[in-house]
Structure formats: structure tokens, C-alpha cells
Amino acid sequence: MKTILIFRQILQLQFLWLRGDKMLYKDTINLISITSTVNSMGDVINAPVKREVYADKQSIRQSEFYQAATTGLRPQFMFVVRTIDYNQEPKLEYNSKTYNIIRTYDKDGEMTELICQGIVNGVV
């Protein structure tokens, strides 16, 4: 499975490079979705499901940082992923740390920006 993912990424990078997109998708992130199941006793169990994708890590724009600060948010990173790889996951993991995705922006139908805020001990 890892080999297929790498091969697919190489093809995408070649396509993007030929198209003029010079982003380097050298970072890997785990997009985290939550699935709910019911156990035999009727309790709802929420389990995280991680999916690895390639991303381009970027800094938060200064204007975005200050606008978010006025509403109490503290964005830390922005990751650009291919739109086809993002399925509305609410969280992501990068370098063994979990982040909430506080905003997304579809750039051109092909790339999506994920604006992230850190989580410490389960608290944003």
C-alpha cells in the first residue's frame, strides 16, 4: 500500500511540476476522522481513523493570524493538500502532535489549504 501511495505521489508531482505548480509535497500528515460504533452494551464508541497524505507545510499569513486572534483562535500551521485527498476530516496529526483543522480554503478545485490549531491535553 505504501508503494502505491508513493508511486501515485510521484505521478502527481510530475503533473503539478509540468503545470507550473512548484509546491513541494515533502511532508506527510495523518488526516484523522472519527467513526462511531455501538458495542454490545449499546454504548457509542468513537474511534479515530488515520489516513496518511502528502502535504506542503506553509506559514500562516500575518493577516490571517491577527484576524483569527480577534476571535480567540491561534492558528499555527497551514498545510496544502490535494483536494481529492481531503474528506472533511476535523483533525490532523503532524510530527506526533494533533491539530484541529479550524478552517479550510479550496484554492482552485485541485488544492485545499488546511489551517490548523494545536491541541494540548485534549484542549484547544
Q: Answer whether residue 59 is part of any domain.
A: yes
Q: How far apart are CA 73 and CA 80, in angstroms?
A: 20
The pLDDT tens digits for 23-64 are: 667 889 999 999 999 988 989 999 999 999 999 998 877 667
Tally the domains of the chain.
Answer: 1
Looking at per-residue pLDDT, the higher value among 24 and 88 belongs to: 88
Give the per-residue pLDDT at 70.
66
Q: Answer whether residue 47 is part of any domain.
A: yes
Tell me which residue range forms the domain holding 114: 23-118
Show the cell assigned to 104. 479550510
Q: Answer whether residue 103 is part of any domain.
A: yes
Q: Answer whether residue 31 is part of any domain.
A: yes
Non-local (6+) Cβ contacts of 99 within 8 A are 76, 77, 91, 92, 93, 116, 117, 118, 119
The partner residues of 45 in beta bridges, in order of sequence, read 37
Give the per-residue pLDDT at 33.
94
Mean pLDDT of the chain: 81
Q: Answer whether residue 51 is part of any domain.
A: yes
Looking at per-residue pLDDT, the higher value among 9 and 101 belongs to: 101
Looking at per-residue pLDDT, the higher value among 117 and 50 belongs to: 50
Q: Answer whether residue 61 is part of any domain.
A: yes
**CATH code of 41's domain:** 2.40.10.270
The pLDDT tens digits for 65-80 are: 656 666 667 788 899 9
How is 45-91 classified by DSSP, letter by letter? EEEEEEEEEEEEEEPPPHHHHHHHHTTT----EEEEEEGGG----SE
Q: Is the dihedral of CA 51, 57, 58, 60 positive or negative?
A: positive
Q: How far apart are CA 29 and CA 112, in angstroms?
A: 14
Q: Answer whether residue 65 is part of any domain.
A: yes
pTM for the full predicted model: 0.71
